[in-house]
Amino acid sequence: MFHREGHKIILITLIIVIVLSVTANYFVGDQLYRGGIILALVVFLILILQFFRNPKRHFPLNENHILSPVDGKVVVIEEVFEKEYFKDKRLQVSVFMSPINVHVTRYPVGGNVMYSKYHPGKYLVAWHPKSSEENERTTVVVKSEIFGDVLHRQIAGALAKRIVNYAKEGETVAQASDSGFIKFGSRVDIYLPVDTKINVSLNQKVKGGITVLAEK
């Protein structure tokens, strides 16, 4: 199963791979060279397919839990001053996604969307300390009955050139439902109340909509 954001890219890639493979088959005389070209094209198609995969999952929904919004690895757990929305201290948990991770962004909590904003910006590597403030990004805040306002921020990286954000202010969203998609790698930051109990550790691998990042 593939995410809707990849349908057009997958179709275009498939057409390009077929055309180039047929061209190589007719015009490249050396059998080994021709086979190498076709193999490289097939590998490229497989990489595109795996990037846009959207596997079916059973989500353990629980209003007392904050779920990881994405697949990846926890790279930051620290208390910071959040400048854009809260303008006070928050507990930041950041999950870095490699190009081989599933790139669907999911709502860590359910509730009402209080804030949704896109920011154009740079394309620093996603682990750069200033990437959360200077890179292209979207900020979404959902008000949970249990945790209050929970902010998650999609951040573009060196390879990610497009962030898709579905959140609209005023709508009610379900925990683990699609919040957006980041094309070709990056990270997501989650900002929580400072007294939140964190359930993950640095460098731990997490799964979007499944791993419990924090709980009451």
Over residues 4-36, the pLDDT tens digits come to: 776 888 899 999 999 999 888 888 877 888 888
Q: Which of 21, 94, 186, 201 is catalytic?
A: 186
Q: What is the pLDDT of residue 127?
A: 56
Q: What is the pLDDT of residue 132?
A: 63
| CA–CA separation, 193 and 181 (whole Å) | 25
Question: Does 84 have pLDDT greater than 60?
Answer: yes
pLDDT range class, residue 125, cuts 50, 70, 90: low
Mean of per-residue pLDDT scores for the chain: 88
Q: Supply the pTM of this predicted model.
A: 0.82
Q: What tokens does 39 get? A: 């193999």
Q: Please compute the mean of the pLDDT values over residues 123-148 and round it to a whole number.
A: 77
pLDDT range class, residue 183, cuts 50, 70, 90: confident
Q: What is the pLDDT of residue 166?
A: 94
Phi, psi of 206 (to 5 degrees): -130, 160
Question: Does 159 have pLDDT greater than 80?
Answer: no
- The residues spanned by each domain of the chain are 4-51, 65-215
pLDDT range class, residue 130, cuts 50, 70, 90: low
For the domain made up of 65-215, the CATH class stated in words is mainly beta
Q: What tokens does 213 get? A: 């990042």
- Amino acid sitting at position 81: F
Higher pLDDT, 86 or 157: 86
Q: Is the separation of the CB atoms in 91 and 76 below 8 Å?
A: no
Question: Does 209 have pLDDT greater than 70?
Answer: yes
Q: Please compute the mean of the pLDDT values over residues 150-154 and round it to a whole number.
A: 96
Residue 179 catalytic?
A: no
| CA–CA separation, 140 and 196 (whole Å) | 19
